[in-house]
Amino acid sequence: MKITVIGAGAMGSLFGAILAESGEDVRLYDIWEEHVKAINEKGLDIELNGKTRSVSVNATSDKRQIGKTDLAIIFVKSTQTVDAARIASELVGNSGFVLTLQNGMGNADIIDEVIDPGRIIAGTTSYGATMLGPGSIRHAGTGPTVIGMWTGIQKTGIAKITDVFNKAGIVTETVDDVRSVIWGKLLVNVGINAITALTGIKNGRILDLAATKALSCAAVEEALEVARAQGVKVSDNTVEHVFQVAEATRNNRSSMGQDVDNKRQTEISAINGAIVKEAQKLGVTVPVNQTLTALVETLQAHYE
């Protein structure tokens, strides 16, 4: 299968490399030219459990070099989804599929504006990766990937893509109701990311102080109300689940935390900010999420 990864940062490079190792015809597309050059010159270095392997995979910053693609995987940060969706649309033409495994809410809706919704696949992944430098990433975690047609109407194409992922060792399951799955991951990010980004703490520290735990719980409870009002199926144990994830990732800095540490724009508008936007549509107030969003927006607007 000809696969193009749009946004070959930590996650895009990892997925692209694993699929290339399994024999798929993979192109990595990224606007970061130094990273592209390093991959083409010496391969992509992947560090896993202290050992590094080099994977040979084609990378480019020139989309004209790519040509028609069966599957475009969007792995830019959510702030760049508009651009990535336009490129994906050119690459897949009228027959290929576009897959987003990005975090946050709203990515598939943005893709939906330029691509026939019947060819959009969305989902979540429990894989984790960190960018170490040009041509070099750390594979930080492995776990299930769950995907589904954005329209909820199954097509044979998704079964083929699921097979390709599983053959490559990326354990992937297809579901009918992918929106609930995306909400499930969003709720975890709502309870962890902004709080850790604003305070500089690692994920597990949320559980160590009653005030921080209560803040996380309040943000998630507000988001749960919005989800339920939209008819999304959410678990009654969501807050407990968020705390379990914080404990399991106790020593990790969240992705939003890392963005703030590196003075990069965060995905706040697709996470707590998305809860605020959805709540406004429903006419309900979500003061905790509104405050967390405003504070992260303030922080990132004033990086030195």
> Which residues lie near ligand NAD (CB under 6 A)?
6-12, 29-32, 75-78, 80, 83-84, 102-103, 125, 128-129, 131, 255, 267
Query: From the CB of 301, what's the least distance to ligand NAD, in Å?
Result: 19
Pairing of strands 145-149, 71-74: unpaired
233 belongs to the catalytic site: no
Query: From the CB of 263, what's the least distance to ligand NAD, in Å?
Result: 13
DSSP 267: S
- Tokens describing residue 53: 């392997």
Q: Which residues contact 106 (CB under 8 A, 6 or more apart)?
A: 78, 81, 270, 274
Nearest to 139 by CA among 53, 237, 19, 260: 53
Query: From the CB of 257, what's the least distance to ligand NAD, in Å?
Result: 12
Query: From the CB of 214, what's the least distance to ligand NAD, in Å?
Result: 26
Torsion of CA 147, 280, 296, 300, to 10 degrees: 90
Cβ-contact 302, 236 below 8 angstroms: no
11/276 with CB nearer ligand NAD: 11
33/247 with CB nearer ligand NAD: 33
Nearest to ligand NAD by Cβ — which residue? 9
Cβ-contact 149, 155 below 8 angstroms: yes
Nearest to 234 by CA among 181, 289, 178: 181
Query: From the CB of 8, what's the least distance to ligand NAD, in Å?
Result: 6
102/269 with CB nearer ligand NAD: 102
Query: Mind giving me the DSSP string for 199-246?
Result: H---GGGGGTSHHHHHHHHHHHHHHHHHHHHTT----TTHHHHHHHHH
2/32 with CB nearer ligand NAD: 32
Spot the catalytic one: 2, 185, 233, 263: 185
64/211 with CB nearer ligand NAD: 64
Cβ-contact 274, 190 below 8 angstroms: no
- Tokens describing residue 31: 């606007």
Half-sphere CA count of 213, side-chain side, radius 13 A: 14
- Tokens describing residue 185: 């991951």
Query: From the CB of 255, what's the least distance to ligand NAD, in Å?
Result: 5
9/257 with CB nearer ligand NAD: 9
- The whole-angstrom separation of Cα 271 and Cα 47 is 29
Task: Give the active site residues.
Answer: 185
